[in-house]
Amino acid sequence: MRDLWARVQSRQNAAAPAVNPPDPTFVQILDIVGHPATTQDIEALLSRCRLAEAFLGGPPKDAVVRFIALAEANIIEATNFVTWDHPLPVHTEFLRRVARRSQRKSRAKIFTTNYDRCFEEAGRQGRYVVVDGFSHTAPPTFDAIHFTYETVRRVGDTEALDPIPNLFHLYKLHGSVDWQRHEPSGEVMKWTAGGKPVLIYPRNTKYELAFEQPYLEMIGAFQSALREPDTGLLVVGFGFNDSHLAEPIMSAMRSNLSLKVVVVSPNLAPWDNGLQQGPGECADNRHLGKLRNLAAAGDARISMLNCGFEALVPLVPDLAAETDLERHMERLRRVGAA
């Protein structure tokens, strides 16, 4: 969020003189919407901008509207960094350890709040089938019924059907940089142009927007998954600041006694980098604090790891043997790199 703040600040200051008369600078925008300059929170700033847009008039309103458009465009640009064949060794290894499951178990489900395409690209590189709710037509169109379909391999010319091993479900809870909503049908499509981007931008209306389509389908699937018996939830890098996601997790912890939760973040514990110190996320966030207290009180369902994604992946059990296809793809990557 701090990086987005600095990026939007720089772009607004560069774009302001290009308008006739000149637009307000970034600091002037803060003053117009009443946001304190000492609070460098892009989510809080955009929330204030949306509120100010409703009651301002004349040139100040026009300037705020242009600023919102500039900020959202830069958020899309900053989070759309994944290109074809982008090196994603950590994500690829994570999928290899998590997504391949026996036929007796349900498919792995990955819920992400980010706009980037890391898991999609890692799935492509590892030759996984990524079920993300979109059709296999051109252009791909969203319909939640696709999450209920299964991909199988026919065994020879017989009637036997064998579920393929390399498949996982991907739910983008806040939309994606490559989703577009097209009017008047309102359908959500991928890899098209001319529509409205389908994203939940960082602001305090995320809770309300989460109950619109297609986000509602994603949230519903998340809540249903948390209620399943003998379910494991691995939470990586999520700060429990979004109530529409944190509250279902806490509710499931109270009612689903077979739910196992592992929370992973590099700043859960108090930290000291030599220049600054902090109490840690468990002290700053009430949900994380409650999970820490439950674990300390003997709730064996909860584990908390003070590390990042890169340090976590080697700790994930490698239960399934490497397939012939995976060995082949690894050989091709090594040859290509050489």
Long-range own/partner contacts, residues 194-200 (CB < 8 A, 24 or more apart): 197/72, 197/76, 199/72, 199/75, 199/76, 199/115, 199/174, 199/175, 200/173, 200/174, 200/175
| Helix, strand, coil shares, percent, the chain, to 5 | 45, 15, 40
Residue 296 lies in a domain: no
Residue 68 lies in a domain: yes
Residue 235 lies in a domain: no
Task: Report the distance separating Cα 263 and Cα 244, nearest Å.
Answer: 17
pLDDT in tens, the chain (338 residues): 788 999 999 999 999 998 888 999 999 999 999 999 888 889 889 999 998 988 888 999 999 999 999 999 999 889 888 888 889 999 999 999 999 877 778 899 999 998 889 999 999 988 899 999 999 988 899 999 999 998 888 877 777 888 888 899 999 999 998 899 988 788 999 988 777 888 888 877 777 777 788 999 999 999 999 999 999 999 999 989 888 899 999 999 999 999 999 999 999 999 887 778 889 999 999 999 999 999 999 999 999 999 999 999 999 988 766 666 667 777 777 776 66
> What's residue 85's pLDDT?
83
Residue 200 lies in a domain: no
Residue 298, classed as helix, strand or coil, is: coil
> What's residue 337's pLDDT?
63
| 146 contacts: CB under 8 Å, gap ≥ 6 | 131, 132, 133, 134, 135
> What's residue 321's pLDDT?
64
Task: Report the distance separating Cα 38 and Cα 17, nearest Å.
Answer: 24
Task: Report the distance separating Cα 90 and Cα 310, nearest Å.
Answer: 6
pLDDT digits (tens, 9 = 90+) for 149-208: 988 888 777 778 888 888 999 999 999 988 999 887 889 999 887 778 888 888 777 777
What is the tally of structural domains in the chain?
Answer: 1
Please give the residue range of the domain that contains residue 61: 2-79
pLDDT digits (tens, 9 = 90+) for 220-259: 999 999 999 999 999 999 989 888 899 999 999 999 999 9
